[in-house]
Amino acid sequence: MKALLLFVSLMLSSPIFAQTFSGTGDTVPDDGGYYYFNIDVSGVTPTVCDTSFGLETVCINAVHTYIADWDVFLITPNGIQIELSTGNGGDQDGYINTCFNQAVQTGISQGSYPFTGTYRPEGSLAAANEGQNPNGIWQLLIHDTYPGADIGSLSDWSITFGNNPAVHFPFTSSNLPILKLKTFGISIPDEPKVLANMKIIDNLPPQRNFYNDFPNDFNGSIGIEVRGASSAGFPKKSYGVELWGANQTDTSLSILGMPPESDWVLHASYTDKSLMRNFMTYKMANDMGHYAARCRYVELFLNDEYQGVYVFMEKLKRDANRISVSKLTPTDNAGAELTGGYIFKIDKINGSSPASYWKSKIAPCDINSPDTNLFIYDYPKADVITPQQSQYIQSYMDSFELALMSPNFMDSTIGYRKYISFSSFIDATIINELSKNIDAYRISTYLHKEKITDGGKLKLGPVWDYDIAWRNADYYGGNDPSGWEYEMCGDVYQNPFWWKRFVQDSVWVNQFYCRWWDLRDSLLDTTIIANEIWARTQFLDESQERNFNYWQILGSYVWPNPDPIANTYQEEVQNMLTFINQRIAWMDANIPGHCPPPDVITSVTEIQSKEYLKDLNVYPNPFNNELNISFDAGMYPTLSLNLYDITGKIMQSEQWANSGTGLAQLNLNANLVAGIYLLKINYGKYEVGKRVLINSKY
C-alpha cells in the first residue's frame, strides 16, 4: 500500500507533458480583409492557464511575396488578441517553421527571412495565461495591410500547452511613474484612435511607484493610435494619446504635473538607445527661452505586459501653454484677425490629400531638383481653414521667400528680415547644427506665426523629433562631427534654400556668431552639458536596465545606428557625449562672424569696478519690450543706458535718476528689430557692457 501511495504521489508531482494542437491554412486574399484560421482545442488538463501550466508556443508556416504586408495575431477563446508579428520581413517570402515563445530573448523584428526558429512575439503570450480555460476555439488572424499587389497563404499553424507557460516580465517597482494601458482585446491601429483605459501611478520622489499602487495621477478613458512614419515599423511602438470624457469627447487634464490638455504623445525612443535625445533637445530649447514639449519619463505596461521606458510628452498644438498663437475662427477673414495665428510644418505628406499642403514657389537647396518644399497645414487644419486664411499664410510665405531671393534681401526695410523672428530662427538653427540633425529643416520642421498686433513675424519651431540626431544616423553624415547641416540637400525631402541665403547676410552671420558664443559661456558649456547628461543617465539607471533586458538591442544594429555599435547603455551615452564635444569643437573653430565684447568693464580700477558691479543684474535676457536693471540703489545716483547694434551704432539712449528703488527700466523703441545688441551702463567713471537679445515682438 505504501509503495502504491508513493507511486501515485510521484505521478501527481511529475511534469505535465506538452500538448500540441495543429490547424490547417488557406489562401489569404490580397484584399485588405481580416482572415481567421481556427484550432478547436479540447481535452486539455489542467483546465486553467496560469503561471504553472498554459500556453507556451505558437508556430506558423506561411508564404507571401512581400511578407511585411502581413499583420499576424493570436486570438484566445475568451477574445484576447495577441500580436505575434506585424510588418516584419520586408519584401521576403514568408515564415518557414517560425515559432513564437515569450521566454526567447530575440524578438521577431530582429529576425529575417525565412524566420526559421523561435522568436519572442511583439505582443505577450502571457496574456493567454491569466486564468482562462485552454479548451475552446483558438484563432490565428492575418490581415494583409497593402491590398492589390502580393498574394500569400498560410500552410499550417499550431499551439502548444505545457508546464513552462509564457509569463509576464518580472517587475515590482520603479523610481519612474508607471503608466498602464488596457485596450480590451483590441489591437492599436495606425489610425483611427481606439478606446482604451489609462492609469498612471506617480507617488513623487523620494517615494517609489509599485505596480499595484493606486493610480493617483490619472485613471480614465483615452483614445490611442500608433504614431510615427519610419518609427511605426519598430516593435516598440510610439503612440498618440487623447484624453476622452463622456461619448469619447476630448477632455483637458493635467498629466504628470504638466499643464492641462487633451493631446499627448507616448514616445518609444527605440532607435535612440540613450533614451534621452528628444528629452535633452527639448530641455535645451526651453533653457534658451523657447517653448518645446514638456516631458516626463515613465515605464509603460500594455495589457499588463512590460513595454519599457517611454517619454510621455506634450503633443505640439495651439494652446496657451504650448504653441501660444491666437485662436483663428472661421470668421477671422480680414484685418488684423486674419494675420494670426498659424502653425504649419515642413514634413513628409505620407499620401495626404493635396488640399492638406501647399508648395513653395522656389526650388529647395538643390536648384536642379524636381522636388519642392511642401508646407503642411497644422493649425488651422486643412479641413477647417478658410480660403482667405489659406491665401493669407501662403502669400506671407511667398513674400518671405521672394524677399530672401531678391537682390535686396539684406535690406532691413524690404528684405527678408521684416518677415521672420531672428531669435527663433537663430536658436533653432543652433540646435539643429549642434545636434547634426539630418532631418533638420526638411522633415519634422514646425513654423508658426502670430497676429500682427502681437508681433506678426514668422517663427521657426518648436523643435521636434531628434531621435536620429546627436550621432544616431549612419547616413548623410549624421555621425560626422564636421560640416554644416544646412548644406546637406538630402533626398526627395530637401532643405529649403533659406540657410544658404541667410549665410550671405553679414547681419545673420554676426547674430548667429554672437548667440553661439553667449550660449557657449553658459548653457552650451561642455561641462554643463556633460553634467546634465550623466545626471539623466544616473536617474535612468535602474529603468534602462529593465528596458534593455526586455528589448535586447544593445550591441545590435537598429536603423539607423552608426558604427561602432555600443554594447552597454553607458557606452551608448559616452559615444553621444564624445560626439557632442567633437561637434562643439568643430563649430567653435569654424563658425564665421564677429561680435561686440560680451561683458566689457572700463574704469580707472577694473577690480574696484567689478566690486561695485557684483550686485548688478540685467533681466530678462532675451527680452521683448522692457528690460529691467537691478542694483544696489544706494551706490548709484544716476545711470546712463546706451543700446548699440552689433555694428557699434547707437540705437537708443536714456538717462535714469535714482529714486531709491534699486530698479531701472529700459523701454524698447518700437522700431528696433530682433537681434543681439550691446547694452552699456554708465555710472560716474564706471561702465559695464552686457550683451542682450531682443525677441521679435517688434
pLDDT tens-digit map of 127-184: 999 999 999 999 999 998 888 777 899 999 999 999 999 999 999 999 999 999 999 8
CA distances from 222 to 177, 218, 295 (A): 18, 11, 19
The number of angstroms, rounded, from the C-alpha of 181 to the middle of its chain's C-alpha atoms is 20
Say whether pLDDT at 611 is over 60: no
Highest average pLDDT, of 20-34, 220-234, 594-608, 610-624, comes from: 20-34
CATH entry 3.20.10.10 includes domain 601-694: no
Q: Which three cell numbers stand for residue 86?
A: 506585424
Chain centroid to CA 3: 68
Name the pLDDT band for 596 (thresholds 50, 70, 90).
low
Cα torsion at 190, 196, 199, 200 (round to 10°)?
20
Average pLDDT score over the chain:
88
How far is it, in rounded angstroms, from Cα 69 to Cα 152? Answer: 10
Cα four-point dihedral sign 405, 406, 410, 416:
negative
The residue type found at 532 is E
**DSSP conformation letters of 532-554:** HHHHHHHHTHHHHHHHHHHS--T
To which residue does cell 492589390 refer? 148
What is the mean predicted confidence (pLDDT) over 44-54?
94
CA–CA distance, 206 with 535 (Å, rounded to integer): 16
Rounded to whole angstroms, the Cα distance separating 104 from 112 reads 16
Q: Is the pLDDT of residue 211 over 80?
A: yes
Q: What is the DSSP letter of 258?
A: S
DSSP string, 631-681: --TTT-SEEEEEEE-TTS-EEEEEEEE--SSSEEEEEPPTTPPSEEEEEEE
Report which of 281, 303, 302 is spatially closest to residue 292, judged by C-alpha positions.
281
Nearest CA to 75 among 119, 112, 34? 34
C-alpha 8/C-alpha 627 separation (Å) is: 89
| CATH architecture, domain defined by 19-162 | Sandwich (2.60)
- What pTM does this model have? 0.80
Is residue 16 over pLDDT 70? Answer: no
Adjacent-strand bridge partners of 156: 24, 61
Domain boundaries, the chain: 19-162, 173-314, 335-524, 601-694
Q: How far apart are CA 37 and CA 74, in angstroms?
A: 10
Contact between 449 and 456 under an 8 Å Cβ cutoff? The reply is: yes
pLDDT digits (tens, 9 = 90+) for 383-439: 999 999 999 999 999 999 999 999 999 998 899 999 999 889 999 999 999 999 999
The answer on pLDDT for 229 being more than 80 is no
DSSP code of 362? Answer: S
Is 450 in contact with 325 (CB distance < 8 Å)? yes
Question: How far apart (Å, rounded) are the C-alpha atoms in residues 359 and 398?
Answer: 10
